Amino acid sequence: MRLEAKDKLVMIGDSVTDTGRAQPVGEGLFDALGRGYVSNVDALLGTVYPELAIRVVNMGTSGNTVRDLKARWQHDVFDLKPDWLSIMIGINDVWRQFDSPRQPEIHVPLEEYEQTLRQLVSQTLPNLKGLILMTPFYIEPNRSDTMRARMDQYGAVVRQLATEHEAIFVDTQAAFDAALQHYYAATLAWDRVHPTQTGHMVLARAFLNAIGFQWS
């Protein structure tokens, strides 16, 4: 596995990462890590690799776009001094284009998304042992669906950045696509975005597989 003893892993993103985590820093007892994939990742790391004492911190914030991440980057990333950083952002950047079409000022176009995420990655990578980039996703099997097609474009940006910077890449959309061979989309997320516990485990499994987690 890529993570080592005493490593500090900060996981940042939007509501899918947030899931009710503690404020201002998502770390500690009870539900401090939220009730989603971050908590699942922490629990499995602690169960299978207890000797490593890996420290997981949840810095997801509901409703965030990449613009919001940029605004809070100093406090929520640099000040926490992570060894490893995981980023999953882009769902709201796309979603606002569809659920709030008459408010273009809150839309984040693809070019801005790429430019901003690239800037954050470039600024932060020299301070990290490792970077994990997770695609945004839309739990919809029809790839011709307008929002699904747009989300795939944003996911392609994440893939490209991961390749350029030799980051670990987590294709969350592919993970959900595999699950959708057996589930109706609303079974995994009533709004196609906020996963059930099964959906969050799909995310956790994809994340752990990408970092070389040994399930046995």
Is residue 172 scored above 90 in pLDDT?
yes
Model pLDDT, residue 171: 98
Enumerate the domain spans of the chain: 8-210
User: In this predicted model, what pLDDT tens digit does every residue of 97-155 receive, in sequence order?
Assistant: 999 999 999 999 999 999 999 999 999 999 999 999 999 999 999 999 999 999 999 99
Fold exhibited by the domain 8-210: Rossmann fold (3.40.50)
User: In this predicted model, what pLDDT tens digit does every residue of 10-58 receive, in sequence order?
Assistant: 999 999 999 999 999 999 999 999 999 999 999 999 999 999 999 999 9
Model pLDDT, residue 90: 98
pLDDT-derived band at 88, boundaries 50, 70, 90: very high
% of the chain residues with pLDDT over 70: 100
Residues assigned a catalytic role: 15, 191, 194
Question: Taking Cα atoms as reference points, which of 198, 96, 72 lies closest to residue 151?
Answer: 96
Contact 17, 38 (CB under 8 A): yes
DSSP at 26: B
Contacts of 26 (CB under 8 A, 6+ apart): 18, 32, 33, 34, 38, 57, 58, 59, 60
Model pLDDT, residue 216: 78
Distance CA 19, CA 100 (A): 23
- Beta-strand ranges (E) seen in the chain are 8-13, 55-60, 84-88, 130-134, 168-170
Q: Helix or strand or coil: residue 127?
A: helix
Contacts of 164 (CB under 8 A, 6+ apart): none
Q: Mean pLDDT, to the nearest integer, of 176-191?
A: 96
Contact 170, 135 (CB under 8 A): yes
